[in-house]
């Protein structure tokens, strides 16, 4: 596969994940789930930085940010 196709597959996958996040914003996930997801995504941010994977880095910055936001919303709801 050429590099253009590989990048297109990665970007398409990232966009589908982001669309899924946008669709699920009205729902507040459980606090424990949001905290675990935020911590896991944070570690994947570090990993993707260390292996120099920009696409995965950007995706996990978004994942950890949304999870942090959801954790805050879940905490406030309690």
The pLDDT value recorded for residue 40 is 94
Q: At what angle do helices 31-50 and 54-77 cross, to 10 degrees?
A: 160
Average pLDDT, the chain: 92
pTM for this model (two decimals): 0.82
Q: Residues 45-78: pLDDT tens digits?
A: 999 999 999 999 999 999 999 999 999 999 999 7
- Give the number of other CB atoms < 10 A from CB of residue 21: 15
Q: Domain residues of the chain, as ranges? A: 3-77
pLDDT exceeds cutoff 90 at 10 = no
């Amino acid at each position: 596969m050429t590099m253009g196709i590989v990048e297109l597959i990665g970007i398409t996958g990232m966009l589908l994940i982001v669309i899924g996040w946008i669709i699920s914003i009205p729902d507040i996930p459980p606090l424990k789930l949001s905290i675990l997801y935020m911590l896991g995504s944070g570690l994947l941010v570090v990993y993707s930085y260390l292996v120099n994977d920009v696409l995965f880095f950007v995706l996990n910055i978004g994942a950890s940010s949304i999870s942090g936001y959801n954790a805050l919303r879940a905490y406030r709801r309690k």
